[in-house]
């Protein structure tokens, strides 16, 4: 039986016996088996890539989750990797830490807990009907840390006992509060790995009863970790998996010598059109054919963040419109299904895998109980370019291939021991004895549409499901729902910026905190918000329009920023850093009092109101012409926001 998926995303059945000349390939388990398959996964985080997903209404949110996780339906992912939020910008936004401060613990911040529960639930419901199906594996990795972990330095490993305890507390909290069993913990940083920390983490895990949790290191590059594993026995005993990011389907000899599991622990990172689907198809096969990698994890799981942030639409599918409910099941979902629906973690690769003579590759896996799955890809160069690393030229042409079955497959798979196929270019074929695969479908979601032009949020949610307010995307700092029990007035429920120290991060956090919202195409609009500064004299807050950058680029964001300060002054700037001043003067604003700010931008001019009265007008806007609305603070400081409103023309 052959499952064939073309880029028209049509799942069909076809058998092709061609009498023309065909190259011959052998599938044989008698010569021995290859490495054990560990699965295909997706990554939520690194950072804030699932931010908009939690705001989807039902049934659309559950439908999206089914396309990602439900076995024998869509992508049927085996692994979910999530970020341990570190209160820092880690690509497309900030995810909250479970410990903003040293004496603080809260295991209900953010949406990753919810996502892990939903992923496990989708698989558990299936297992109830189909026993012996493997559970989904959960992996976590910190991209960043709260500032207190680094003791004022942008480095988390000078005090490895503190960092290890911080990470282990998250794993313990996952089990205690959410009944989540974390299977893998990754160790990653941009500069290097720290062998002392890895050993201490292993010790701390074991001491905490977490012997089953496996360590992936360095979850970045093959070297220098592989060399260190070869010369440091204690380190080798601590590390279970060598993980590499964007390995280009190849590994290094030293990694193979370690006999460790090899994973592409972050890969893909490519726009999810047909070329992106081709990239994913090629690397899923060739990561094993070329590099003996037994797991591949996509960054990212689902493109559920504002598309104009860095790496827009780089997920396996797209879900970026919770305000309409629209989502798009992109080609990488079905590319994934070619492997995940017809093989499971614990299956074994055959040694007889490789490249096709006229381009493309094939892998074969068995469950050692008579089942066999073969996945063939014939991706051409221009149809399979990934964002990284660079792809050298190669040629693929249509071809006929004959597969000769030997060993135990001769009698159990096909009676005459061989079959011939005609392969076209830019296609993926799955040949399998498994008969349970399904191209799952739901009715079409609602039509795509822009962010509402009129928007209001008073944050009056007594028991919020998530710590983040709908549609706000924190770029630096963390803005959380806050209940001010000491305030009997109208501002009991607010949104509060809670990070008071620059985090430890590899990305470029701005010195100011900022959360964006809305439509990047907005030009003429009015933004209104009540603000409350909690830092005497040096405190400051802003509202903004036409903010043109976020994510890793947020530090250089331009727009129209209306600031008021606790020292009684105001300023209007054309940039987040506050260097290009359009207007400034006295405002009379102070800490520990509520003020209403109103910013109107129309054409080349901007006007600002304070508490309903004009504070400044007709400031000349130097640019940009469009962008998001935003709120934020002058520095990493406590401040509150309420009654946020936008009206765009």
Angle in degrees, CA 543, 548, 549, rounded to 5: 100
Q: Mapping DSSP to helix (H, G, I), strand (E, B) and coil, where does residue 212 land?
A: coil
Query: Comparing C-alpha atoms, which of 199, 203, 260 is closest to residue 227?
Result: 260
- Structural tokens at position 77: 């992912």
Beta-strand runs (E) in 33-129: 33-36, 39-44, 79-83
Burial-class residue 444 by CB neighbours within 10 Å (0-12, 13-18, 19+): exposed
- Structural tokens at position 267: 């890969």
Q: Which residues contact 29 (CB under 8 A, 6 or more apart)?
A: 350, 366, 368, 406, 407, 408, 409
Name the active-site residue from 266, 320, 427, 637. Answer: 266
Q: CA 269 to CA 312: how far, in whole Å?
A: 10
Q: CA 51 to CA 16: how far, in whole Å?
A: 45
Q: CA 298 to CA 308: how far, in whole Å?
A: 20
Q: CA 30 to CA 346: how far, in whole Å?
A: 19
Phi-psi region of 186 (alpha: psi -120 to 50; beta: other; left: phi over 0): beta
- Structural tokens at position 609: 């109101």
Name beta bridge partners: 558.
575
Q: CA 12 to CA 560: how far, in whole Å?
A: 53
Q: CA 3 to CA 434: how far, in whole Å?
A: 10
Q: Mapping DSSP to helix (H, G, I), strand (E, B) and coil, where does residue 630 land?
A: strand
Q: What does each C-alpha distance from 78 to 39, 214, 253, 632 come to in angstroms?
A: 5, 16, 28, 38
Q: CA 618 to CA 506: how far, in whole Å?
A: 40
Q: CA 408 to CA 424: how far, in whole Å?
A: 29
190 counts as catalytic: yes
DSSP letter at 278?
H
234 counts as catalytic: no
Name beta bridge partners: 619.
606
Q: State the catalytic residues.
A: 190, 266
């Amino acid at each position: 039986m052959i499952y064939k998926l073309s880029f028209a995303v049509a799942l069909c059945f076809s058998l092709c016996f061609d009498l023309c000349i065909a190259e011959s390939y052998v599938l044989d388990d008698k010569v021995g088996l290859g490495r054990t398959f560990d699965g295909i996964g997706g990554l939520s985080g690194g950072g804030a890539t699932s931010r908009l997903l939690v705001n989807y209404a039902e049934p659309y949110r559950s439908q999206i989750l089914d396309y990602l996780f439900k076995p024998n339906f869509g992508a049927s992912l085996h692994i979910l990797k999530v970020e341990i939020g570190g209160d820092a910008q880690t690509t497309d936004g900030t995810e909250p830490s479970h410990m903003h401060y040293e004496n603080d613990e809260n295991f209900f911040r953010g949406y990753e807990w919810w996502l892990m529960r939903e992923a496990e639930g989708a698989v558990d419901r299936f297992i109830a009907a189909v026993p012996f199906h493997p559970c989904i594996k959960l992996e976590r990795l910190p991209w960043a840390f709260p500032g207190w972990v680094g003791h004022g330095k942008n480095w988390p490993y000078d005090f490895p006992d503190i960092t290890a305890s911080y990470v282990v507390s998250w794993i313990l909290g996952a089990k205690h509060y959410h009944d989540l069993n974390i299977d893998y913990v990754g160790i990653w940083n941009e500069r290097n790995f720290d062998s002392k920390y890895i050993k201490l983490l292993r010790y701390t895990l074991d001491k905490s009863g977490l012997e089953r949790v496996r360590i992936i290191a360095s979850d970045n590059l093959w070297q220098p970790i592989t060399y260190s594993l070869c010369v440091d026995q204690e380190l080798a005993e601590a590390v279970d998996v060598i993980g590499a990011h964007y390995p280009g389907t190849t590994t290094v000899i030293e990694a193979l010598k370690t006999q460790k599991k090899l994973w592409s622990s972050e890969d893909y990172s490519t726009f999810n059109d047909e070329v992106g689907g081709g990239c994913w198809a090629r690397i899923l096969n060739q990561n094993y054919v070329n590099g003996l990698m037994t797991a591949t994890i996509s960054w990212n799981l689902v493109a559920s963040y504002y598309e104009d942030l860095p790496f827009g639409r780089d997920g396996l599918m797209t879900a970026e419109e919770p305000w309409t409910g629209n989502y798009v099941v992109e080609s990488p979902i079905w590319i994934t299904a070619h492997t995940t629906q017809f093989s499971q973690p614990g299956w074994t690769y055959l040694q007889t895998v490789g490249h096709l003579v006229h381009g493309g590759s094939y892998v074969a896996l068995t469950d050692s109980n008579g089942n066999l799955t073969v996945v063939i890809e014939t991706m051409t160069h221009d149809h399979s370019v990934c964002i990284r690393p660079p792809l050298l030229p190669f040629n693929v042409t249509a071809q006929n291939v004959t597969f000769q079955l030997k060993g135990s497959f001769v009698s159990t798979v096909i009676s005459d021991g061989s079959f011939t196929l005609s392969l076209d270019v830019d296609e993926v074929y799955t040949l399998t004895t498994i008969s349970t695969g399904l191209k799952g479908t739901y009715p079409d979601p609602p039509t795509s549409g822009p962010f509402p032009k009129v928007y209001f949020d008073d944050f009056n949610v007594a028991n919020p499901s998530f710590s983040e307010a709908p549609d706000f995307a924190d770029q630096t700092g963390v803005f959380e729902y806050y209940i001010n029990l000491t305030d009997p007035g109208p501002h009991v429920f607010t949104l509060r910026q809670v990070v008071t120290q620059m985090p430890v991060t590899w990305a470029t956090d701005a010195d100011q905190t900022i959360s964006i919202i809305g439509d990047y195409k907005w030009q003429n609009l009015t933004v209104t918000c009540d603000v409350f500064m909690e830092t005497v004299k040096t405190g400051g807050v802003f509202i903004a329009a036409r903010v043109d950058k976020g994510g890793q680029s947020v530090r250089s964001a331009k727009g129209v920023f209306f600031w008021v300060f606790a020292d009684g002054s105001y300023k209007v700037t054309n940039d987040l850093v506050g260097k290009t001043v359009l207007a400034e003067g006295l405002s009379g604003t102070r800490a520990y009092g509520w003020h209403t700010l109103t910013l109107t931008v129309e054409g080349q001019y901007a006007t600002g109101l304070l508490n309903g009265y004009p504070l400044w007008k007709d400031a000349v806007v130097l640019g940009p012409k469009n962008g998001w609305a935003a709120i934020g603070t002058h520095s990493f400081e406590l401040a509150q926001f309420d009654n946020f409103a936008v009206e765009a023309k």
